Amino acid sequence: MKDVASAAGVALKTVSRVVNGEPGVHPGTAERVREAIELLGYSRNESASVLRSGRTATVGLVIEDVADPFYAVLSRAVEDVTTGYGCMLLSGSSSEDPVRERELVGAFCARRVGGLIVVPAGADHSYLRPELEAGTPAVFVDRPPGPGLDVDTVLTDNAGGAGLAVRHLLGHGHTRIAFLGDEPSIFTAARRLHGFRAALGHLFDERLVAMRTPTPAGVRADVDRMLALDAPPTALFTGNGRLTVTALRALAGRLPALVGFDDFELADLLVPGVTVVAQDPAQMGRVAAELLFRRMHGDTGPSEHPLLPVRLIPRGSGELPA
Amino acid sequence: MKDVASAAGVALKTVSRVVNGEPGVHPGTAERVREAIELLGYSRNESASVLRSGRTATVGLVIEDVADPFYAVLSRAVEDVTTGYGCMLLSGSSSEDPVRERELVGAFCARRVGGLIVVPAGADHSYLRPELEAGTPAVFVDRPPGPGLDVDTVLTDNAGGAGLAVRHLLGHGHTRIAFLGDEPSIFTAARRLHGFRAALGHLFDERLVAMRTPTPAGVRADVDRMLALDAPPTALFTGNGRLTVTALRALAGRLPALVGFDDFELADLLVPGVTVVAQDPAQMGRVAAELLFRRMHGDTGPSEHPLLPVRLIPRGSGELPA
DNA sequence: CGACCGCCGGACAACGTTGTCAAGGGCCTG
DNA sequence: CAGGCCCTTGACAACGTTGTCCGGCGGTCG
């Protein structure tokens, strides 16, 4: 910048003004400065700018895994909103590891992000308190923070969605409905189990519930065990997209009625089409990002907790008779 | 940091030494400093650190769209390697827009990233020259840079893969093979067309080629036109994952033999299973990232251009007879 | 017992930018 | 014609950290 200033024959500050589009610079001067910038291939040092001004125009996003289509779509939505506000997005995958989550948040804060969007992996987020008090807003997405932290959240109606699925299957005559879910320590899995149980009422049977990290072998074992019962299930409710796909492979043709939580590409092309309770990850990302930017722009109202609706999409597998 | 220093009763520099794990600090002093850090919830200001030292421990990644599973997996692989080297990953989606690509690269450079991994959208990358000369290495992935830029690339054997697909179909008796590809201005699409044409030789028929951005309506029109020919194709080669899926929908049961470029989840569960020529996006990301880190660590050898192999996975759709 | 050496801690400048404040010059108004 | 105001420009300090250099203290060797 010093070089640009001397090349254009002006003071440092004038170059700074031009670079930042501040008013009060003679158009001719500005043009000369711009030429010098072009000529020298100058690019502003963001670090120095941040250091001096305290502003970063950066937002941090912690998700579970970018390679998971659900979070990939969510990321993209957040990125689009962020870009729309002239900000950059920093993101990282926690791999469901609380330690990694905390490292990522720490790295983002050290880079002085203006705000955080977090899909939490851990159960304790007291480490965030200093940042929140320092004025860095945070929005929790898909799962709430640990106890004692009053921040905005954007959650899906997990229990309601599970209820929707169960009632749909009940409506097609099923009374033996099984549930395959993720680890019960994961918030969404627990909420979906809750909704499942509540909608089934006295029809709930513990033997028809299996909750674990969805590995092919594990899911196959669960499916085999359930199908071998004296009174096997006639319908299956799978608790997330990965489980639905894993279960379809494990079933290998022995297809009971099936409704899955989460939509996925090609669900419509399978035979039969897979009926799902669909969330909208892009909407989730947009809502969270917009909320975050409102906070970053100074909205200090009480914390908000929008609950996003789900939608049942019948495609065939959920409409098979009992 | 100043506060930490006075709380611990030491000088600024000593705190700096502790934070950076530099030698030459009495263990007891270091412990006192760490306690003060913990107590005050201090976190180093990365901007100031970068400004002073010039080092960033950050890598920039420009891809086409995080929400695309191919790039999502690639991103994750790059992120894992980056994390392994103690670096942070900055990434952004260009949406196939050269202007956006350039903006992203500019933003990354302004943040003084240590290196760049780019899936280029544009055809001219001379704007990168100053950065490269300034010592910021770059690796181009999936597509080469515009002419006149001597940088590392990591590409897939696109033409070879297309040839593999065509010979597979020829081997099952097909002589009328159609090609649906993306915009020919996209490098990979052009290379795949090239391989397709070369492998077909005199059997190549221009009426059986359609190249465009894969919209459902457009692909349907292409498919309808080809199937209505006097001598319709008996086999179809689709030029990327998105096209394969779009074509499957457009075909709606009128299924000729089909081989797709790119593997995709559930390809094995469709009926028949979809035969594909599979790339390995994770490997692509890893190779590119490792190469970049070698450059960042000072390897100044001649530019490298690994060509990643592809693999034909027969699943049924490519083995249908003519 | 004295001098030298090594180890540890501290003072200070500098990184590149921007906020503050002030000064110069031209133009409008009284 | 003079005074004042606005527009444009510039000088300077400060942001938080780290590299450089120096000083003091204790131990060891001659």
For residue B56, the model assigns a pLDDT of 87
Chain B contact probe: residue of A4, A19, A43 with most B CBs at under 10 A: A43
What ranges do the domains of chain A cover?
2-44, 55-156+281-307, 158-279
CATH class as words, domain B158-280: alpha beta
DSSP B297: T
φ, ψ of residue A302 to 5 degrees: the values are -60, 155
| Cα–Cα distance measured from residue A290 to residue A117, given in angstroms and rounded to the nearest whole number | 11
Mean pLDDT of B112-132: 93
Are the C-beta atoms of residues B71 and B78 closer than 8 Å to each other? Answer: no
Residue with tokens 């790059």: B78
Share of chain B above pLDDT 70, in %: 100
**What residues in B contact A315, CB-CB < 8 Å?**
none
Q: How many beta carbons lie within 10 A of that of residue A202, not counting itself?
A: 5
Please check whether residue B281 is in contact with residue B74, taking contact to mean a CB–CB distance below 8 angstroms: yes
Q: Residue A116: beta bridge partners?
A: A60, A138
Please check whether strand C approaches the CB of A215 to within 7 Å: no
Q: Are A92 and B89 within 8 A, CB to CB?
A: yes
B109 interface with A at CB cutoff 8 Å? yes
Residues of chain A short of pLDDT 70, as ranges, are none
CATH number for the segment(s) B2-44: 1.10.260.40
Residues from chain A contacting residue B93 (CB–CB below 8 Å): 76, 79
First to last CA, chain A: 74
Query: Any atom of strand C under 7 A from CB of B12?
Result: yes
Interchain contact, A88 vs B90, CB within 8 Å: yes
pLDDT digit string, tens, across residues B86-119:
999 999 999 999 999 999 999 999 999 999 999 9
Q: What is the C-alpha separation between B9 and B185, in angstroms, rounded?
A: 64
Q: What CATH class does A158-279 carry?
A: alpha beta
pLDDT of residue A24: 85
**A26 burial class (0-12, 13-18, 19+ CB within 10 angstroms)?**
exposed
CATH number of A55-156+281-307: 2.40.170.20, 3.30.1200.10, 3.40.50.2300, 1.25.40.10?
A: 3.40.50.2300
Judge whether residue B1 contacts strand D, using its CB and a 7 Å cut-off. Answer: yes
pLDDT at residue A145, as a whole number: 97
pLDDT at residue B41 greater than cutoff 90: no
Q: Which of B50, B292, B59, B90 is nearest to A50 (CA)?
A: B50
Lowest mean pLDDT among B24-28, B193-197, B313-317: B24-28
Closest C1' nucleotide to B9's CA? C9
Q: With a 7 Å cutoff on the CB, does A41 touch strand D?
A: no
What distance in Å separates the CA atoms of residue B302 and residue B298, rounded to the nearest whole number?
12
Sequence-distant (6+) residues with CB within 8 A of A251 are A223, A236, A258
CA dihedral B313, B315, B317, B318 (to 10 degrees): 40
Strand D nucleotides within a 7 Å radius of protein CB atoms: 7-20
Of B45, B92, B271, the CB nearest to A89: B92
Per-residue flag: B52 CB under 7 A of strand D: yes
Instruction: List, in order, residues 6 or more apart from A43 with CB less than 8 Å away.
Output: B106, B109, B110
Query: Strand C positions with any atom < 7 Å from protein CB?
Result: 7-12, 14-20
Residue whose CA is minimally distant from D14 C1': A52
Fold agreement between A2-44 and A158-279: no
For B55-156+281-308, CATH number out of 3.40.50.2300, 3.40.50.300, 1.10.10.60, 3.40.50.170 equals 3.40.50.2300
Give the pLDDT confidence of A218-275 residue by residue, as tens digits: 999 999 999 999 999 999 999 999 999 999 999 987 878 999 999 999 999 998 999 9
CA B51 to C1' D4 (Å) is 44
How crowded is residue B290: how many other Cβ atoms within 10 Å of its Cβ?
A: 16
Residue range A57-69, pLDDT digits in tens: 899 999 999 999 9
